[in-house]
A and B are shown apart, each in its own frame.
Chain A
Amino acid sequence: MIRAFWLILALLAAGTASAQNLRIGLREDPDILDPTLSRTYVGRIVYMSLCDKLFDINERLEVVPQLATGFTWEDPRTLRIALRDGVTFHDGERMDAAAVVYSLNRHMTMQGSFRRSEISEIEALEVVDPLTVRIRLKNPSAAFIAQLTDRAGMIVSPRAAEALGRNFGTRPVCAGPFRFVERVAQERIVVERFEQYWDRANIHFQRVTYLPIPDNNVRLANLQSNAIEFGERMEPDDVRTAQRSRNLRVVPVEEIGYQGITINLGRGPGGSNGLARDARIRRAFELAIDRAAVNQVVYEGMYTPTRQPLPPANPFHARDFAPPGRDVAAARALLREAGVTAPITVEMIVPNNPDLRQVGEVIQAMVREAGFELRLRAMEYASALQAASRGEYETFLTGWSGRTDPDGNMFTFMRTGAGQNDGNYSNPEVDRRLDAARTEMDVERRIQLYAEIMRIAVAEDVSRVYLWHRKNIMIHSTRLTGYSPVPDGLVRLRGMRLQ
């Protein structure tokens, strides 16, 4: 009888100890949870629990196996991927080569797929055996593997995808450590542990709830009052408050993207502005800006000033390419050399956020001393995007969330006519190197190509003024252990647990 009592007590204790429920406060409400159709950054944070990918990246941005166990290049255009044995989807179906081919085909052909352009290099897919896939590319591509570390590499259950069609995102079925339980729009997304997960031993939470809490103050208040255990993308202002609190820990992680000023060099009505005329005027504009000072004033010095799209953590980051110091005299001399008379009037679109408006105002004051009359136009994001793509802007203070492969931070913004080259920048020398770097398999040679691109496009042409790499500031409860930050800012739940 007494033994039974102790047994029950022990079971109860074990029950509470293993009742590991994690609550994560998200900065936005994710869009549809279908790896083929989704496109928000915040959605990728949720996928970390739901959908495993063929490959993942680690803290040093290296490609590591996940659903795949490895890959080899049979020739520069043929990739052979070996798959992990014994992996099942949340619906009990087996994850095998046929499922991988199905998922990649779905990404490529489904109407409205946002993955199409990421893996457009694929020419043919082939099931070699149940655990081996062969991918044939149209051209050699050094950037291809990196695409398989994100949504394009997520493998969905073919049976569930067929059954749900375009509504797959309302009940996603993948092979991640957690399976989908429910979603109430704008309120919560709940997932629970998948007991047949291939790496089950490293998953310690029973249930994870994602709560979109867009207001930064309120997200912090939730952390302070233990209503959530983890808050992602917190603000630099919150850091000091969080550091004062004994039950919170601040983890700043440098992002893989950047923030900068896009300059319209000849697109639409805004293309004939004062900066578009001459690279010397643009260089003068850049020299008038003190990145470190803006960073100090607006972001408490938390960010990393830069002159390039690749952060220091990226292996392709160009060395010896530090941002120039502020030099108003040199800026004025350049303007005289270019034969223009001050003031040069330029307009800058600033997204309507308090911090970015402040950045705009500080830059406005700085460049005025060099002879620029910078007019700020605060715009809500949707309108700003449209203005940018139509060329209805002169300069645009904007950012890019970043991709692990350098190509993802440069090609689409710098290549003549590329999708997001909103400034219409065009230089054949840069184009040639961008194309070459895409297919170059030798890492050293690639590093050199990207360094040359930056020298031409940034130092000589000043096609864009890169300002800084932001930090993904994570704040979590001190009860939470095992969080290992990766520069992409996604929250990987492997190894994390609550004390």
Chain B
Amino acid sequence: MELGVTDHTASVETEPQGGDRPPGAPLLELRDVRVVFRQGGLRVVAVDGLSYTVSAGRTLALIGESGSGKTVSSRAVLGLLPPTATVSGSIRFDGKELVGISERQMRRYRGASVAMVFQDPTRSLNPTMRIGAQITEAIRVHQKVDGKAAKARAIELLKLVRLPAAEQRFVEYPHQLSGGMRQRVVIAIALAANPKLLIADEATTALDVTTQAQIMELLRDLQHKLGMAMVMISHDLGLAASFADEVVVMYAGRAVEQAPTRTLFANVRMPYTKALLDAIPRVERPPHQPLPVVPGRPPDLAALPAGCPFAPRCPSARDLCRESAPPFGEGEPGHRWACWYPCGSDGAAPS
């Protein structure tokens, strides 16, 4: 399937880039992770049985709409959820179980083993603290270094993220930088303690397209250089195509399709994923045609219907779909999905 998706690498290629690198050791393993929020009598299952594995040097894309559970599941890894949330299941980093460990132990992982980059760089940075201080803080929380060494490392990091005039930026405040530059600073902060895994939560959503491309490219380069694993959270399947090795599509807190990138795009099964793919604007499409958009809205997690959560919006939904939820199973080697009537197989499939 020719995608013609804009690729963000320096070279001109039109194929998804993932899948070429050999997998390293599994770094992050989620197994049947559930996150339940309880507040004032309300009970919301934000993440329902999510499992995936990320290895060193590889990128996993977590794709979904808002409310799909992608952000919550990632915050659960670092224990950054409010006390109203209960996490169950298994989250292993480098073989060590993270669910249920104490706050103090968790802090040792944050930044040093797993780091996060958030969506809005304007809000992610402390407005009254100098940029240099925010970076050195990230360093000194984990290492006993003196001010000078920390400053040197911070400037090194700023240069690593390709921030021009690093020494000057070191003493400046966030509002003195543009959006793209701020996001680079956020990335520098994330890298400060040499994490092995980087979680980029909609890291480029708040940026304009050009800056988005630059930042994604930067992330990819850093990953190559540092051998980091990366979890890329987004709603943009096109972005996943260009940068991810494996894709997990989430809906209503569950994984609904999971496969290596090439496999997914070549052989999409779940109608939801297909709908997302169809919605990507493409150059070859005839002009002035309305974009095929998924009708309806994401479900209310506090009141999920019985059966497949996507059934109300699915073009190929049938009675079975509304009655019972399809299991998430490995239909083909390396390719999992949750659908009674997946595309391209028995039964009527949409074009």
A binds B: no
